[in-house]
């Protein structure tokens, strides 16, 4: 599944030929140099290691700097692997851009969702909450009973409880490519993608 790495710029809207407004996410994708090619004979699987975003040399460790020097590419801020079945058609140092995709194509986007901190069960799991009346006044957003005292006399493993929400890897599939701007390295996708602004994303061709 081939793809590239990008950065979420934000959301806006565009109009189609019928004049309908379409909500889109603007992603700055590529150019992504191929830093390393992994093959089934050596690493056990076929994949491309892609970079995105330049980084100052003084902030790069010596082992990683040697890795970039061997590939003859500038130090990259982000490194991501992309599984591929056609590793032989790529070369180290080759740059991949948004022209990898075409308008109307379906893609899968992976990113880290927004971190929302510690949240209760009503927001975290959409619990209904307790009644406002009938003798209770402080249990409106409580989860209710989490385990009886006589049976099961414990809290079941996996019980939905308050806790940290967000900050997890999320993949949204079958997003339609609305527009491709190869000159500005911009990719416009229909709908929303995971993460906050300026967060890094992985855009792959959808396998479905």
Residues 41 and 81 in one domain: yes
Which pTM does this prediction carry? 0.84
- If asked whether residues 187 and 176 sit together in one domain, one would say yes
Provide the residue range defining the domain that includes 128.
116-165
Confidence of residue 206 (pLDDT cuts 50, 70, 90): confident
Query: Where are the alpha helices (H) located in the chain, listed in sequence order?
Result: 62-71, 121-125
Same domain, yes or no: 65 and 151:
no
Kindly report, residue by residue over 74-104, the tens digit of the pLDDT.
999 999 999 888 777 889 999 999 989 999 9
Phi/psi for 202 (5° steps) reads -115, 120
pLDDT digits over 32-67, tens only?
Answer: 999 999 988 888 999 999 999 989 999 999 999 999
Do residues 175 and 155 both lie within one domain? no
Whether 139 and 181 share a structural domain: no
Residues for the chain: how many in total?
208
> How far are the Cα atoms of 20, 99, 166, 195 from residue 204, in angstroms, in the given order?
27, 13, 22, 16
| Banded pLDDT at 183 (limits 50, 70, 90) | very high
Q: Which residues contact 206 (CB under 8 A, 6 or more apart)?
A: 105, 106, 107, 108, 173, 174, 175
- Phi/psi for 30 (5° steps) reads 75, -175
Q: Say how many domains are in the chain.
A: 2
For β-strands 3-15 and 200-205, DSSP reports them as antiparallel
Cis previous bond, 188, omega within 30 = no
For residues 200 and 3, give the distance between their C-alpha atoms in angstroms, rounded to a whole number: 14
């Amino acid at each position: 599944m081939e793809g590239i790495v990008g950065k979420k710029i934000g959301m806006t809207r565009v109009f189609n030929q019928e004049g309908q407004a379409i909500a889109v996410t603007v992603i700055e994708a590529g150019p992504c140099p191929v830093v390393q090619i992994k093959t089934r004979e050596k690493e056990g699987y076929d994949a491309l290691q892609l970079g995105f975003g330049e980084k100052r040399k003084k902030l790069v460790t010596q082992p990683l700097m040697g890795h970039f020097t061997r590939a003859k590419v500038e130090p990259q801020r982000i490194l991501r692997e992309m599984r591929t079945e056609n590793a032989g058609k790529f070369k180290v140092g080759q740059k991949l851009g948004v022209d990898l995709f075409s308008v109307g194509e379906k893609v899968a986007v992976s990113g880290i969702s927004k971190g929302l901190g510690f949240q209760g069960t009503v927001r975290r799991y959409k619990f209904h909450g307790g009644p406002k009346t009938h003798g209770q006044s402080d249990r409106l957003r409580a989860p209710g009973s989490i385990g009886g005292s006589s049976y099961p006399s414990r809290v079941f493993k996996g019980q939905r409880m308050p806790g940290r929400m967000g900050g997890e890897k999320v993949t949204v599939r079958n997003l339609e490519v609305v527009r491709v701007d190869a000159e500005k390295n911009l990719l416009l996708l229909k709908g929303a993608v995971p993460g906050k602004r300026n967060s890094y994303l992985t855009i792959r061709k959808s396998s479905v």
